[in-house]
Amino acid sequence: MNAIHLINGPNLNLLGSREPSVYGTVTLAGIEERLRSTCDERKIALQCRQSNHEGDLVTWIQEAGEAKAAVILNAGAYTHTSIAIRDAIAGSGANVIEVHLSNIHARETFRHTSVLAPVCAGVIAGFGSHSYDLALEAICNTIFETSRN
């Protein structure tokens, strides 16, 4: 059975109330529910986790690599700084789609650089909570498709 691990990093537990003008009003539980219903329909196993701690994200990416699960990753601010998360993606061989609710390229310059993007399969940013749904579509149409060929 195809599997997706949805991994969210720091401050994403605050979605819904956190800077709604930037991140919208949908909660993380709401995003997870939407993805769960799509995955149920398509018979994809979905695991959802969130942590404010960098090491948790490293461990979970390694686990996804071992489990051969595709990953939808919003690493929050660690996107711009974490060599440890980048090394986890590269080292585990996990297929990771980097997602952001906001368009990081239209924001402060310190958000323009992702240290993770070069080792990810692709990046989706700027579509609010729909960035996650688009990542799910990308996985179904490329990664799962590819792994079947």
Interface residue list for ligand DQA (CB under 6 A): 11, 74, 76-77, 79, 100-102, 104, 111
Beta bridge partners of 47: 5
Catalytic annotation present for 5: no
CA atoms of 111 and 54, how far apart (whole Å): 18
Nearer Cβ to ligand DQA (58/124): 124
Minimum distance, C-beta of residue 62 to ligand DQA, in the bound complex (Å): 21
Nearest to 1 by CA among 68, 92, 75: 68
Nearer Cβ to ligand DQA (24/65): 24
Nearer Cβ to ligand DQA (70/78): 78
Cβ 70 vs Cβ 97: under 8 Å: yes
CA atoms of 4 and 7, how far apart (whole Å): 9
Minimum distance, C-beta of residue 81 to ligand DQA, in the bound complex (Å): 10
Minimum distance, C-beta of residue 96 to ligand DQA, in the bound complex (Å): 14
Nearer Cβ to ligand DQA (2/23): 23
Catalytic annotation present for 132: no
Question: Which residue shows structure tokens 């956190």?
Answer: 18
Q: Of the residues 5, 23, 78, 132, which is catalytic? A: 23
Minimum distance, C-beta of residue 101 to ligand DQA, in the bound complex (Å): 4
CA atoms of 139 and 122, how far apart (whole Å): 10
Q: Angle between the 54-67 and 83-92 helix axes, to the nearest 10 degrees?
A: 10
Q: Of the residues 5, 78, 100, 132, which is catalytic? A: 100
**What positions carry a catalytic annotation?**
23, 100
